[in-house]
Every structure is written in C-alpha cells, then in structure tokens.
Amino acid sequence: MIQFNNVTKIYANGIKAINDVTLRIRKGEFVFLVGPSGAGKSTLTKLLYREEIPSRGQIIFNGKSLARIRPREVPYLRRKIGMVFQDFRLFPQKTVFENVSFALEVTGASNREIRKVVPVVLNLVGLIEKADSFPDYLSGGEQQRVCIARAIVNNPVLIIADEPTGNLDPDTSWDLMNLLLDINRRGTTIIMATHAWDIVDAMKKRVVALKDGRVVRDEMRGVYGHEA
Amino acid sequence: MRLSTLRYYFREAFLSIWRNSWLSVASIGVVAVSLLILGSSLLLVVNANRIAQGLESSVEISVFIKDETTPDHVRDIKFEIEARPDVARVEYVPKEQALKEMMENLGDDQDILAGLEEKNPLPDAFRIKTHTVDQVAPLAAWLEAFARVDQVRYGQGVVEKLLTISRWVRTAGAVTMVLLGVAAIFLIATTIRLSVFARRKEIGIMKFLGATNWFVRFPFLLEGMLLGLAGSFVAVVVIYFGYLSLIGNINLSLPFMRLVTERSLIISLMEGLLALGLAIGATGSMISMRRFLKA
Ligand SMILES: Nc1ncnc2c1ncn2[C@@H]1O[C@H](COP(=O)(O)OP(=O)(O)O)[C@@H](O)[C@H]1O
Ligand SMILES: [Mg+2]
C-alpha cells in the first residue's frame, strides 16, 4: 500500500532529514517508527500526507505516486489518512462532538450522516458521555481519544500517529494503544512514531528504526532497540 | 453546497467580524463613506443631466444665412447639415416666415413692424436641433465655418455651464470614489488578514483534516463581502432617505426645479451601490487570501 523508493528529503536549510529511504508497508500493518529525536520520523510521515515533498525518490500510496498528485487533490489524499499528534490539535471552542463532526463537515458530509456516524465513533473510543464537553475540561487521555475518534471518523485507510502517547501517563498510554490495536484489527494500517520503548517492546509489531534519516533496522516482530 | 456547510461559512464569518469588531466597524464606515460620495455625486449628475435635457428642447441653433445666397446653395447647405449624425432636425426658415412668426408673437403690437414686408430686414435662417445638449456647441462651431453663414446663435452659456457642472461633479465624484474605494479595499484586506492570522492554527488543523482551499477560504471571502455589503447598506439608507427629504423640501421651496424622482432609476442606483459594496468587500478579501492563504 505504501512504497518509499530511495526517498531523500532535504529541507530548505540544507538538513537532510530523510536519506535514501526505501520502505514498503502493506495494508493492515502496524508499524512503529523509532529513533532518536531528529532522526526523521515526523518528516517521514509528513511526506506521506504531502505536507512535505521528497527532494529525490518517489512515494507510492494506494497505487498512486504522490509526486503526481496535484495540489488540488491533496485534501482528498488527506481524507484517506487519519492523523493523531502529540499536541492533540483540537478546536478548543468546539465540543467533543463538534470536533469529531468537523472532520466530516470538511468533506461536505450531510447532517444525517454526521448524526449517524459520530456517536458510533465516540462510542468506540468510550467518550459518548463526554460528547458535549469542551476539550479543556478533559484529561490528556480523553483528549487523545477525541483525536483518534476524529482520525477514524472518515474511515481512513491509514492512521499516522506521531508520538501520540508523548503527553500521556503510562496507564493512559496503554488504554490508547489498545484502542489503536482495536482499530488496526478492523483493517486500518497504522504508522506510529514513538519514544515509548516499553510499548514497542510489549506489542511485538513491526519496528522501523531511523537514525540520521536512514533506516537502520526493520524487523517484523521487533523491539525498541538500543540505537536510540 | 450543503445547507450545513453554508451555515458553517456564515457562522465563521460573523464570528470573525465580531472578534475584530473595531476594525470591522472602520471597514464598514469607509465603504459607507466612499459609496455615499459616489451615490450623491451620481444623483447630482443625473439631475444636472435631466435639467440640461429640459433645456435642450428650448435650445436650438439658429443659423443666419447671408443675403445673396441662392436657393441652390441653401439646398446644398441643408443637405450637408442633415447628413451629420448629431443633427436631429433641420428646418429652413425663409425671412418671410420669420417675419410672420415675429408678428404673430407680437400680437396686438404688430403695428411696429408694419411696412417691413416690402423691405424685410430679417435674414433667411436654419433652425437646427441636435440629439443631445452637448452636441450643440461643436455643431455651432462647425456651422460658423460655412462661407454662406452669417451668424450662428444658440443659448450660449446656460447649457455649457450646466454641462460643466455636471462634468466637474462627475470627475470629482469619480476621483474621490476611486481613492476612498481603494482605501476601503485595503482596510477590508487588513481586517481579513487579521482574521486569517487569528485563525492560523485552526486553518492548519482544517488542512490536515482534508479541507479544500475553498472550504478554508470561503468564510473569509464571506466576511469581506458582508463588511462591504454592510457599508453599502449604510450608504444606501442615508442616500435614500436624504434624497427623499431633499425632494420634499425642493418641491415646497423651488417647485419649478424638477428633480429625478423615478423609483426605478433610484432603485437601480441603490442596487448598483449595494453590488459595488459587495465587490469592494470581495476584492479586499481576495487580496488578503492571495497573500496569506496560499494552497
Ligand atoms: N520544516 C523544517 N525545516 C527545516 N528543518 C527541519 C524541518 N522539520 C524538521 N527539520 C529537521 O529535520 C530533522 C528531522 O526532523 P524530524 O523529522 O522532526 O525528526 P523526529 O520526528 O524524528 O524527531 C531534524 O534535524 C530537524 O531539525
Ligand atoms: Mg517528531
């Protein structure tokens, strides 16, 4: 489903954030991206949702070369990808329900569809009771679950989670991981960049380790490792 | 476009206007003032032209022809005058007819002209009407150049003065309007820029949620258009009621002054002002978005 062919990303300031990466991720996989800060994990994900464009090499997503996608089509690419960030990025003045429904509104979904789908998704992440609360009144774990609800409400084929547990305590982190695992079992591919070595070690999923923009290790049932 | 999306656009636009309320009020004010000036000068021009038109029917050019001119020559000159596109009507008035008219005009006092029939001192003449008043002066100048023409007369002065005023008002109005219009556009652009700036985080979130550029931009476009529309609405209301009371006052104090009162004309003027306000607002926000909301 995702194929990186000799991808290099050099930022305008000359930093080579991704260096000749070739990588293949199949549909339904759960992939951890590990590596020290500045290794290029976030850049790798940004290349996928076309926040950044490779300097060299090509990326195939769902059979399409991302280089060929016109700027006009980028929003439609992003609707196939759900994103979860360490800093949540919720709308503070919208309720939980509205934050989730907004991801549907953006795609021009009807009110009927919104009323049908949003409660289902909120139920899935266990936040149906908090539908009318505002993000600032929720715990970090709850906020991150709102983000996951928002990420999956459009039925994406891929979820990109960039250090989603970075701001959460260990117990809450595990709740979140179980939720992601659950979503992965329903067939959604998940790419998660993380520093949480205990989670990586316990889950025994594919681990791609980056260092200085290069893939230094790629194991199917991997552990966090010691490069970091 | 779905109704819920439309509702979202309007809610966001009004929210922005509310958040930047001071700048919004300033934008509305500048749009209102510039359109107020445009509207009033347009009304002035329309009225000046109307009055000039009224005079037009009484303005005709009299061309006196030299005595020794032959009928053949007269016919040639008439053909030549008639051939001009600005000439509406040409009438040849031989001196006998002119004298008869003069006597009729004098009525009971026509005795003073007695005996003139034999040695008529009046010249033969053409009476010419143009289509519009502003064609009178150039035509008169053209007629002066004829060898057989002795004198050209028309209501010199009045018409020109009126037209000069009307032209002056038009130019001054246009210049002020353009200057203020540009100011209004840039004020709106600034307002929108602040709105965009205040929402740059939300815009970022919308982009990664897969919002199209137009979905992101439309509330800002709408905000500018609403500001422009609000300004032009203020101008329209002020002009409309101001003009109504002017018509009332003038009818009382200067009943012979006929102002333009056709509803259809006034209403289309007001519609034009509203449309212009909308356009000013849209232009302002487009400028901002081209600079601050690229792809
Ligand atoms: N927008 C940017 N412009 C310039 N340099 C950047 C930018 N984003 C990231 N970098 C640099 O690229 C390298 C990789 O960053 P990043 O992908 O964020 O790493 P990670 O997510 O693994 O910590 C770092 O050296 C970082 O400073
Ligand atoms: Mg990062």
- Mapping DSSP onto H, E and C, the string for A132-187 reads CCCHHHCCHHHHHHHHHHHHHCCCCCEEEEECCCCCCCHHHHHHHHHHHHHHHHCC
Decide if pLDDT at A228 tops 70. no
Fold held by B60-154:
Alpha-Beta Plaits (3.30.70)
pLDDT tens-digit map of B145-195: 888 888 888 766 666 677 777 778 778 777 877 887 888 888 888 888 888
> Residue type for A201, please?
D
- The pLDDT-based confidence of B34 (bands split at 50, 70, 90) is confident
Looking at residue A7, its pLDDT comes to 96
Task: Check A78 against B209: CB less than 8 A apart.
Answer: yes
B87 vs B60: CA distance, rounded Å: 11
| Average pLDDT taken over every residue of chain B | 83
Looking at residue B197, its pLDDT comes to 86
**What b/e readout covers A129-147, taking b as 16+ CB neighbours within 10 angstroms?**
ebbeebbeebebbbbbbbb
- The pLDDT-based confidence of B263 (bands split at 50, 70, 90) is confident
Place of tokens 């380790």: A209
Q: Average pLDDT of B279-295? A: 82
In chain A, alpha helices (H): 41-48, 74-78, 96-105, 111-124, 140-152, 170-185, 197-203
Q: Average pLDDT of B40-64? A: 75
Task: Check B210 against A78: CB less than 8 A apart.
Answer: yes
Please state the domain extents for chain B.
Answer: 3-55+161-292, 60-154
Looking at residue A25, its pLDDT comes to 96
Chain A residues close to B215, C-beta within 8 Å: 75, 106
CA A200 to each of CA A35, A78, A145, A220: distance values in angstroms, whole numbers, following the listed order: 12, 26, 19, 12
pLDDT tens-digit map of A126-154: 999 999 999 999 999 999 999 999 999 99
Kindly state the tokens that stand for B54.
């009224």
Q: What is the DSSP letter of A69?
A: -
Chain A residues close to B2, C-beta within 8 Å: 108, 110-111
- The pLDDT-based confidence of B54 (bands split at 50, 70, 90) is low
- The pLDDT-based confidence of B1 (bands split at 50, 70, 90) is low
Between A156 and A223, the more confident residue is: A156
Find residue B89's DSSP bridge partners: B129
Ligand 1 contacts CB of residue A14 (under 6 A): no
Ligand 1 contacts CB of residue A71 (under 6 A): no
Between B290 and B157, the more confident residue is: B290
Looking at residue A207, its pLDDT comes to 96
- The pLDDT-based confidence of B257 (bands split at 50, 70, 90) is low
A155 vs B118: CA distance, rounded Å: 109
> Residue type for A172, please?
T
The answer to whether B175 touches B273, Cβ cutoff 8 Å, is no
Cα atoms in the Cβ-side hemisphere of radius 13 Å centred on B141: 4
Q: Which residues of B touch A (CB under 8 A)?
A: 2-5, 8, 201-202, 204-213, 215, 295
CA dihedral A91, A92, A97, A102 (to 10 degrees): -20
- pTM (two decimals): 0.73
Find residue B92's DSSP bridge partners: B126
Ligand 2 ion local residues (Cβ < 5 A)? A 42
Q: Average pLDDT of B11-26? A: 86
Chain B residues close to A75, C-beta within 8 Å: 207, 210-213, 215
pLDDT tens-digit map of A105-129: 999 888 899 999 999 999 999 999 9
Q: Specify the residue with its C-alpha closest to ligand 1, atom 27.
A: A38
Q: Which of B60, B51, B102 shows the shortest CA–CA distance to B81?
A: B60
B251 vs B249: CA distance, rounded Å: 5
**What is the secondary structure of B237-259 as a DSSP string?**
HHHHHHHHHHHHHHHHH-TT---
pLDDT tens-digit map of A43-98: 999 999 999 999 999 999 999 999 889 989 999 999 999 999 999 999 998 999 99
Q: Which numbered ligand comes closest to the C-alpha of A45?
A: 1
Question: How many of the other CB atoms lie within 10 Å of CB of B183?
Answer: 15
Q: Tell me what ipTM this predicted complex has.
A: 0.89
Between B119 and A219, the more confident residue is: A219
Q: Average pLDDT of A183-197? A: 95
> Residue type for A74, please?
V
Looking at residue B293, its pLDDT comes to 67
The answer to whether B52 touches B164, Cβ cutoff 8 Å, is no
Q: In what order do the strands lie in the sheet with A56-61?
A: A16-25, A2-10, A56-61, A64-65
Kindly state the tokens that stand for B161.
């003065």
Kindly state the tokens that stand for A87.
């800093």
The answer to whether A122 touches A134, Cβ cutoff 8 Å, is no
CA A119 to each of CA A98, A150, A159, B75, B172: distance values in angstroms, whole numbers, following the listed order: 11, 11, 20, 95, 63
Which residues 49-78 in chain A show a CB within 8 A of chain B? 49, 51, 71-72, 75-78
pLDDT tens-digit map of B60-106: 788 888 887 888 888 888 888 888 888 888 888 888 888 888 777 77
Task: Check B208 against A51: CB less than 8 A apart.
Answer: yes
Looking at residue A20, its pLDDT comes to 95
